[in-house]
Structure 1
Amino acid sequence: MVAPAVPEINEEILAESIDARTDSLASLRELGPPDLVHLLKQPVRNAGKQFGVYHHVTGVDASSSASLAAYINTLTYKEFGHSATTKTVEGTYCCYNAFSRVDMRVHAPFPGSVESYAVNDRGERLKATEELWLETYLCSVLRAYSYADDGTGETIRKIIGVRRFNPVTNTETEHRFLSAAEQLFFRGWTLGSDSVVQVPNIVSNHLTTGLLKYFQTTGRYASGINLFEKLRTQNTEVASLLAKVLFMGNEEVEGVQVLHSALKESAMDYVMLDTQAEFLLKKAESALTPESKEERLRMALGCADRSTIAAPSEFGTWARLAQVYVAMEDWENALTILNSCPMFTYQDKDAPVMPEPKDVILPTLPEARLDEIDSEPESRYSEQVDPSLLNLRAAAYRGTFKQAYSILTEMTAKIGWDQLLKIRSNVFVMEDEYRVEKQQESGLHPYSVKRTASTDGLRGTPDPTAPNGNDDAASEVSEEDKEKEAQAPEGEPIAPTLTPNGDIEGLERPPSAIDPDEAKKDKENGDEEHFTRLNNKRLCERWLDSLFMVLYEDLRVYTIWRTQMAQYRAQSMQYKKSAEEWEILGSLADRLQHTDEAVEAYRACLSIRFSPKALSGILKVFESNRNTRETVAATIRLVTWQYRWYSEFSPDLLHTIRMLIEDEGAVKVRSIIQATNLPQNVLDLTHHYAALCATFRSSGTEG
């Protein structure tokens, strides 16, 4: 496999990239940024003039100074940007150790001896010990998975000029990785955790996330079971990780037994309870009878409810409970529990903060040349995009807000917008009814017990501080809309009418819930203590109230699009949008869980130009429908696009290939790849992924 090309970012001032990295060490909070590789070069004919170039990289073996020096040495033979007119004088490799919060550095002059040292957040040099190298190696593997692209290209576009390699390519490197993970496992919580976890612990942190991602990607479940079996003897909590890997490997009975046994020792371990709830929820989805589904959901509810008691400040436990209620079609409780979710500010991955470069050179190797992909960058920047599509706030949601929004859109997809508004007005105090009740009510009824949204959502008991009422108008459908629905052909979308203020008739704007701060202030002032009509309602958290308005904007744009599409088709006219607009519309339909419409938009985008995001969106549908040939064709193009932008490794694409091989067999998959009407150099890139599966002896590669 030929290594990806080497991007070169030219510095304005010599070594300013290294200085900038040193300055940023004190602000790093997660696993750290990708590794930095800096090269000092000089023209062949002018030894007195030197300049610096750099790029970033993940997945390089960082187990010793020798392995990093070896990487630097490979770059001396790849003189892309300045061809043969320059030579490399020295190189510096910087790799962050998130355990000890130091930057490990290797300085390799040509010729000369290699020097290695560590730099702390004060810029001081420290000795590079074996323990520091062990920590650094493990962090480098975790970063390779954390900073890998999922196929959509969004991660690749975040940081310019990053080469991505697979850190674990065979069983020997796997052994080294898992050995390091075992030695440092109980310090993993110090690395931090995903943004949806409030407090990292020994089973919820970046190390365990990376381990589970590795086992899911490669299918090396036996290795995972072996690792967690050993660690479980030291701490019972590890049973949740062991069960997760057993479930991955379809060892469901043993996984349930592991959880059952561990919960006898630690009955209030919220991760184990949540793992049980997640498993039961999935089993309910595949239940063959309504009775079986109901029984599994009832058990899932018990586990999820108990996990919120065990960890009331964690988002994941409340979100799981809300998902169970959605599956049970208990919409009021689902909305109540969603309102109780603790929301956290999204903490993005550590990213390099570099000075403005003098020049950027992004070469392309012949092995990654494909006409439909090569034309993509130029056409992207010339496209016009409707401002209303650029202003959809839901597209920017990350972390807890993204997950909460997904639960809300699932409810909307199942019961419709009007019904959701009606349930909302039944559950929460709306601003209009609060004002009316406040004017009408003069009696006072003191309550001294303080309540919280979390405990109320958990117990399902009324909040005496929350006024109550009903807003039936929120779910009313106009007579005109009913008439349109009756006249519309079956399966044909109703064409809502645009009103002067830009709203859609038939799609009601959500009324505002009362601001909790205002209601609490009224209570403190003695203006409101007890409104008889409102005493069983809750105050809607401001973030959830905002989510309803964001959902309305998504639905509004979606409805306009589908209406216009129907009108154009009725008149046999072509509905025209730019590729960027089609990509945004596809993402919008995806968010709203309208799969067919998302695929339609993504296909329209791809008919104009290549888009990894659009193709990834369609790939998910191909995979779920077990459309082998279409899945292979899409994967080949995504692998090539990734390689074009210096990434030879995507865990998600490797997982796709592995599952294809598991379902169809390696011989058939290789034959389908080879039979595709694309250049051989492009096919070889995907063959490389298939070869990895054979190296790991994945299911389906035998024979």
Structure 2
Amino acid sequence: MVQPAVPELVEVDLHESLEARTESLLTLRQLGPPDLVHLIKVQPKGTHKEIGTYHHVTGIDASSSASLAAYINTLTYSIGENQVWFGKPQSWKIQAGTYCCYNAFSRVDMRVDVSFPGSVDAYAVDDRGERRVATEPLWLETYLCSVLRAYAYAEDNVQTRIVGCRRFNPIVSTESEHRFLDAAERLFAKGWQLGSDPEVQVPNIVSNHLTTGILKYIQTTGRFASGVNLFEKLRIKYPEVASLLAKVLIDADEEVKAVQLLYETIKVLPMDHALLGVQADFCQSKGRSDLALECAKRAVNSAPSEFTTWAKLAEIYIALEQYEMALLTLNSCPMFTYQERDFPRMPQPAKMHLPILPESMIDESLDEYDVKQDPLPAASLKGTFATAYRLLTEIVAQVGWDTLLKCRSNVFVMEEEYRHEKNASTVTNASTTALRGNSSEAERKPEDLEKPNGSPEKSNDEKEITEGVATISISESDQDTIIEKPEQSKETENDEEGSEDDSKNYTQFQNKRLCERWLDNLFMVLYEDLRIYTIWRGEIQKQKMKNLPVEKSASDWEIHGELAERLHHVDEAIEAYRNCLNIRFSSKAFRGLLGAQEKARDVRGALNSIIRLTAWNYRWYSEFSPSLLNSVRRLIAEEGAIKFRSVVQSTNLPQSALDLTHHYSEICVAFRSSGSEM
């Protein structure tokens, strides 16, 4: 199998990349950055001046010092004799190399120094920069972390690209799978030490990066039987693992077993929010959101400080078309500051050697390194805020902007209401004060949303009000759902500014809540998305009516495709992506099309997207994409391996690019996936 080319970043000062990595160890909080490979090179026939180069890599077997030293040894053949260096053929000799692989369990950096010819030195460096002995337990932890990182960093895109990073598939056979799952079983109890996804506040034994990695591997490769065997063994010691086992059983179409498992386990662990979440997901998938609602309420009661339980409850209220309850629930979600992945922090290199693999080049340029970024604020949302925004867009997609505003004014205190009551009473505690009455406020217009709460600036009292925390007490049924009632305000003895007409026009906040500032800002973000989308669609309609072409750049079409996709306008998103691809290559546009092509069972179109994305990945030094492997596996399961290979071969693309795609089908054959029998 053809391997990706080797990128090289040239150091200004020798060993500065290793020093920067050592200094950053203290700041690492999760799985750690990709592995670092540092090389010292000289030109035998030149000045013999040493230069330092480095690149990053994921997916290399890190189970021992020998396997890491072997990787460095392979580089002597890839970037040694007759290397094209900045456009000129040159000969280089690697004098020494260092491989750095982070162990997120013990918080040490495992390093292997290789000198040519022949010597290998393995050791660990802690966050204080001190050396430790590299023991067998440390190597086991390092191996497991390297596999999890390979999956976590596999999906590369322009926004999150790590310059000069090679990506390999860490598990390509049933033997390597067995080693991975064995290591996961042995270290399962320590998984919470790795941290968790940004939507999880407190990592636990079933919600952490280890369990996320295991589930992603199982879902990507379709190795459900292996997952069931692993979790069955772990469930004996850890009953909570039943939630993970049930997920795998459902994915494997063993729904009866999954329901039986949930029924038996919930009797033992009645307040396990993970189990209740799986129950809610299953009921919702069967179109029984009414049953899912009760499970979601119990999950919120069992874990009120977790974002995922509240978000699931809001999602179910949206499915039940109870939009006001969905907004109240969303307002109560505990939001967490997003923690970025542990990206490598390297000094600015003197220069970068980014070679192109000839096999990855097809009929268009695959270089989209400097593309226009999406200027809309919604594109930059991450973690809990991205999920909350998605729920808001689902409401808008179902009922429209005007109805959303009406629901908002029915459940939240509006600016005008607050101002009226502020003038009519003495506000003693703005974060808990509420007006009294039952009449409703007139709906706010979209143009009032140019500033949060419709005002350019907030007074100190108004700022205080937006920081109040709204809570909902969830009980077992809709009738028992209690919205916490705020304290009433103290009225002044002389209300000179109030009038009877005002009392009729404004509610006096008895059952209304204060909208959290973050949610108020998301309404602003949504308004901006809708405004730009409306302008865009209006321009297109005008041009079509005049029979004129719509002249936009590829980057603009790409941004509009993302915007339409965020707002759940699938057809418009596909149209924008196709227009983008008519101008130039775009990995983002092909990814957007691939999902739609799979849903429409457009095999030829889906394979065309897969081939081009695979070539693009190789262009940027990656042979492994979990999402593409999953797409290939599903296509083979539906159409069969023979038809898959036949359609791939029938395309008019270069054979070298087709061979890169066959690599994924070979993995499916090695794993004996459904439909892969030749």
TM-score, normalised via structure 1 length: 0.87
Partner residue of 1:599? Answer: 574
CA spacing shift, 1:249–1:438, aligned 2, 3 Å = same
Query: Do the aligned residues in 1 keep the contact of 2:417 with 2:441 (CA within 8 Å)?
Result: no
Query: Do the aligned residues in 1 keep the contact of 2:9 with 2:349 (CA within 8 Å)?
Result: yes
**Partner Cα distance (1:237, 1:43) in 2:** 59
Deviation at residue 369 of structure 1 after TM alignment? 1.2
Q: How does 1:329-344 map to 2 (within 5 A)?
A: 329-344=321-336
CA spacing shift, 1:130–1:470, aligned 2, 3 Å = farther
Query: Do the aligned residues in 2 keep the contact of 1:8 with 1:81 (CA within 8 Å)?
Result: no
Partner residue of 2:318? Answer: 326
Letter in structure 2 aligned against 1:584: I
CA spacing shift, 1:466–1:615, aligned 2, 3 Å = farther
Letter in structure 2 aligned against 1:606: L
**Partner Cα distance (1:154, 1:307) in 2:** 37
Partner residue of 1:518? Answer: 465
Q: How does 1:424-443 map to 2 (within 5 A)?
A: 424-440=408-424
**Partner Cα distance (2:402, 2:349) in 1:** 52
CA spacing shift, 1:14–1:268, aligned 2, 3 Å = same
Query: Gaps spanning 5+ residues in structure 2: where?
Result: 469-485, 493-502
Deviation at residue 440 of structure 1 after TM alignment? 3.8
Query: Do the aligned residues in 1 keep the contact of 2:436 with 2:508 (CA within 8 Å)?
Result: yes
Deviation at residue 158 of structure 1 after TM alignment? 2.3
Query: Do the aligned residues in 2 keep the contact of 1:606 with 1:614 (CA within 8 Å)?
Result: yes
1:266 aligns with 2:277: no
Partner residue of 2:443? Answer: 474
CA spacing shift, 1:630–1:471, aligned 2, 3 Å = farther
Letter in structure 1 aligned against 2:363: D
Letter in structure 2 aligned against 1:63: S
Partner residue of 1:98? Answer: 104
Residues 623-663 of structure 1: per-residue CA shift (max 9 Å, x gap): 11111111111111001100111000000000000000011
Partner residue of 1:396? Answer: 380
**Partner Cα distance (1:312, 1:525) in 2:** 26
**Partner Cα distance (1:698, 1:540) in 2:** 50
Residues 35-70 of structure 1: per-residue CA shift (max 9 Å, x gap): 000010011124641010000000000000000000
1:408 aligns with 2:411: no
**Partner Cα distance (1:165, 1:187) in 2:** 26
Query: Do the aligned residues in 1 keep the contact of 2:154 with 2:625 (CA within 8 Å)?
Result: yes
Partner residue of 2:477? Answer: none
Deviation at residue 435 of structure 1 after TM alignment? 1.1
Q: Percent same amino acid at aligned positions?
A: 58
1:43 aligns with 2:18: no
The aligned length equals 638
Deviation at residue 585 of structure 1 after TM alignment? 0.7
Letter in structure 2 aligned against 1:194: D
Q: 1:563 aligns with which of 513, 523, 538?
A: 538
Partner residue of 1:117? Answer: 123
Deviation at residue 439 of structure 1 after TM alignment? 2.7
1:541 aligns with 2:516: yes
The range that moved more, 410-419 or 274-283, is 274-283
CA spacing shift, 1:650–1:45, aligned 2, 3 Å = same
Query: Do the aligned residues in 2 keep the contact of 1:474 with 1:511 (CA within 8 Å)?
Result: no
Letter in structure 1 aligned against 2:593: I
**Partner Cα distance (1:633, 1:613) in 2:** 14
Partner residue of 1:174? Answer: 177
**Partner Cα distance (1:468, 1:681) in 2:** 73
Partner residue of 2:633? Answer: 658
Partner residue of 1:489? Answer: none
Partner residue of 1:55? Answer: 55
The range that moved more, 565-574 or 185-194, is 565-574
1:306 aligns with 2:275: no
Letter in structure 2 aligned against 1:357: P
**Partner Cα distance (2:164, 2:533) in 1:** 36
**Partner Cα distance (1:601, 1:160) in 2:** 29
Query: Do the aligned residues in 2 keep the contact of 1:217 with 1:654 (CA within 8 Å)?
Result: yes
Q: How does 1:366-377 map to 2 (within 5 A)?
A: 366-374=358-366, 376-377=368-369
Deviation at residue 129 of structure 1 after TM alignment? 0.3
Deviation at residue 517 of structure 1 after TM alignment? 2.0
Residues 192-239 of structure 1: per-residue CA shift (max 9 Å, x gap): 000000000000000000000000000000000000000000011000
Residues 96-115 of structure 1: per-residue CA shift (max 9 Å, x gap): 00000000000010003211
Query: Gaps spanning 5+ residues in structure 1: where?
Result: 285-295, 453-462, 477-502
1:85 aligns with 2:91: yes
Give the 3-state SS of the residue equivalent to 2:338 in structure 1: coil
1:23 aligns with 2:23: yes
**Partner Cα distance (2:292, 2:55) in 1:** 48
Give the 3-state SS of the residue equivalent to 1:119 in structure 2: strand
Partner residue of 1:144? Answer: 150
RMSD across aligned positions (CA) = 2.5
Query: Do the aligned residues in 2 keep the contact of 1:9 with 1:53 (CA within 8 Å)?
Result: yes
CA spacing shift, 1:109–1:299, aligned 2, 3 Å = same
Partner residue of 1:499? Answer: none
1:130 aligns with 2:136: yes
Give the 3-state SS of the residue equivalent to 1:372 in structure 2: coil
Give the 3-state SS of the residue equivalent to 1:72 in structure 2: helix
Give the 3-state SS of the residue equivalent to 1:371 in structure 2: coil
